[in-house]
Amino acid sequence: MRLLIVGSLEGHMITAGKIAFEKGAKVATVDDVDQAMASLRTGNGADLLMVDIGLDIDKLCKHLDAERFSVPVIACGIGTQPSKAGDAIRSGAKEYIPLPPDAELIAAVLAAVTEETTSLIYKDPATAAVLKLAEQIAPSDASVLVTGESGTGKEVMSRYLHSKSKRAKKNFISVNCAAIPENLLESELFGHEKGAFTGAISRRIGKFEEANGGTLLLDEISEMHPRLQAKLLRAVQEREIDRVGGNQPIKVDIRLLATSNRDLEEEVKKGNFREDLYFRLNVVTIEMPSLRDRPLDIEILADHFLGKYAESNGVAKPAITPEAMAQLMQHHWRGNVRELENTMHRAVLLSRDNLVGPEAIMLTGSSFAPAAAAQTVVTQAPTSTAAAQAYGGGTSQTPSQPVSPSVGDSNNTQTDEKLVGRTVADVEKDLILNTLEHCLGNRTHAANILGISIRTLRNKLKLYSEDGTEITSPGNISEHLSPSV
């Protein structure tokens, strides 16, 4: 992990850096905000910034946002400084750490950042088979295409491939092709020279150069515009790039990984994706199974997320009842692991008496589960029973019909009646807003569940907002908490 320390705080920041170095982090130091931005622009990169609270953290966070650097910021100050800490967090810092540094606290912060990006938790044989293939191909430099539905863990698998490769000690750089506008993505990937376009106030190193010697992940590559695919093809073939506004080709040594939640062969047929680029990327394909195709992972992941969000909310980890676990096992999980994570986060918030019961499991999307999935749910009833017993469920019986209200004919009829007479735009609006609420306002998670790009989601929400519709803000959970308050 790459740690960039900004400021000194009478030498305490350097001490924190030494602790981080002993824990395995790569540590660099700069004196102020301007030097920090210059370091990031030149391609040094960072996975975490620890910043002196006496510096202008608001300015730093605004620069990071404007220049599309997605790096968490931790503010640091001597002792407890509630007022300054609050200002820093409102400006965009993720946390405040008091100094002199505590070795265990620094280790916990580093572990939290690493855990979010590299954890692979599984129990199902379907996942084990995928990991076995990943371990076989990881040591090579072959390009790998990781496919699967949204929320199945494609980026986590990509990081796993890097961690098992001979480039593991070098940089792992990820670019979300869906989240960056087309006119900015070229500069993001290949970099630009000063004055190359309006707003190019200095030279910036692109992700290809930043990943030099390591691994570059092109996340959701199917969202890339065909015009830019041509330039990418040359970079993949020649391992050579041109900065925007530059006149000298630059050699790069990278391993390329790509992910997509779409069928790229179908996109090639439609003319949306270049066939030659597809074959260049598709040396090896790893298909991540959906969560409903690896049911044994549900209980172990649910338990993991309960622990994670209990700790982050400062509460004891609740136990899950057999009835609640049965609900989880029977759900379609259209949003896969990401949807399960959101569900368990809500369950922690809604748990009572340190128990997660059925009333705390708020599932969404059941009406969108295909009929075939409903059949699968019924055949998995024994697994649900086993999971219930594993959680102390004794001999409780698994229902003969899934909990989902979409399975029964009468409920399907009621759903149809609610839809008939409404416009597609009206139904789409309800779907988008309900999904956003389900994700507690998290736009990225909502877009992945909906199967649309973050750009499309933002445009839709802007239209709804202009019409006077109230949009769920990130972190707004008042609607979910009201029943148990």
Structure tokens given for 441: 């306002």
State the Cα torsion 437-476-302-339 to the nearest 10°. Answer: 30
d(CA 425, CA 320) in angstroms, rounded, equals: 39
Residue 100's pLDDT is: 82
8 A C-beta contact, residue 349 and residue 480: yes
d(CA 447, CA 461) in angstroms, rounded, equals: 11
Residue 406's pLDDT is: 39
Q: Write the DSSP string, 97-157.
A: EEESPPHHHHHHHHHHHHHHHH-----SHHHHHHHHHHHHHTTS---EEEE-STTS-HHHH
163: Cβ–Cβ under 8 A, 6 or more apart, which residues?
118
Contacts by 15-23, CB closer than 8 A, 24 or more apart: 15/99, 15/100, 15/101, 16/50, 16/76, 16/97, 16/99, 16/101, 16/106, 17/50, 19/101, 19/103, 19/106, 19/107, 20/106, 20/110, 23/106, 23/107, 23/110
**pTM value?**
0.63
8 A C-beta contact, residue 158 and residue 117: no
Residue 374's pLDDT is: 41
Structure tokens given for 330: 């029977």
What is the pLDDT tens value at each position of the chain, 485 positions in all? 788 989 877 777 778 888 888 777 788 889 899 999 988 888 777 888 999 998 999 999 998 888 878 788 999 888 888 888 888 989 989 888 888 877 777 777 776 665 555 568 899 999 999 999 999 999 999 999 999 999 999 999 999 999 999 999 898 999 999 888 887 899 989 999 988 887 777 888 899 999 999 999 999 999 998 889 999 999 999 999 999 888 889 999 999 999 999 999 999 999 999 999 999 999 999 999 999 999 999 999 999 999 988 987 889 999 999 999 999 999 999 999 999 999 999 999 999 999 999 999 998 765 455 544 444 443 333 333 333 333 334 333 333 333 333 334 444 445 455 566 678 788 888 889 988 887 778 787 778 778 787 778 888 888 888 888 888 876 544 333 333 33
Q: Provide the 10 A C-beta neighbour count for residue 204.
A: 23
